[in-house]
Structure 1
């Protein structure tokens, strides 16, 4: 039985010719509450705990999505990131870089079967308050 798993979408990240204009457009036309990073959407998980999903346009020339050549990157919320990455490694999935830890959670990266970079995030949502 798997110990680590995806529990939701943590974020949608995409390249933009002008991230500031894109954030301004979404703020004006769709009422996104934007900041320097994009927009954070708050919601409750199945246990009633606060949770977030991030929406962020990146500069067209960002290297953050590499080694993928795509103009987007998905971020998935996960439980037990360390265990999940070990299971994925054992399954032959390409792991990128080392786990990074911040006050808002742990991050790891993989490539899917289409070469898309996937960011895995074990969140600490309360740090956003």
Structure 2
């Protein structure tokens, strides 16, 4: 059974991305990139006017997955809408899909290259 294997990234808007990123690093010891036991996680503020995810949402969580195609099949079989776009996938970064939780929060699924 396909599953999420860890956090692939947490993305959020900020008015001052440099200052906010520095605050997290200073006060919580969370740098922009670090290696966890389960793998790489990206922690990076996005510009407040980014169009990477819906303008009405402050956050989008990204989960690393071990078999994106199988997970997409499972999600769709459960009646969950899954969005994929060819331009999201690259040989360097891997494959991506997006879903929303029951409250409309965006979730990105990522199978690393």
Q: When the two structures are superposed, what TM-score results if normalisation uses the length of structure 2?
A: 0.83
Please report how far the alpha carbon of residue 98 of structure 1 lies from its aligned counterpart in structure 2 after TM superposition. 2.4
Q: Distance in 1 between matches of 2:70 and 2:27?
A: 41
More strand by share: 1
The Cα RMSD (Å) is 2.0
Mapped contact 1:95–1:109 kept (Cα < 8 A): yes
Which of residues 78, 97, 106 in structure 2 aligns to 1:108? 97
Structure 1: which 5+ residue stretches go unaligned? 34-38, 46-50, 125-129
Please report how far the alpha carbon of residue 96 of structure 1 lies from its aligned counterpart in structure 2 after TM superposition. 2.2
Show the 5 A alignment for 1:1-129.
2=1, 4-33=2-31, 39-45=32-38, 51-66=39-54, 69-98=56-85, 100-102=88-90, 103-124=92-113
Mapped contact 1:108–1:120 kept (Cα < 8 A): yes
Q: Distance in 1 between matches of 2:3 and 2:29?
A: 32
Q: When the two structures are superposed, what TM-score results if normalisation uses the length of structure 1?
A: 0.74
Q: Deviations over 1:91-118 (max 9, x none)?
A: 1112123253221221111111111110
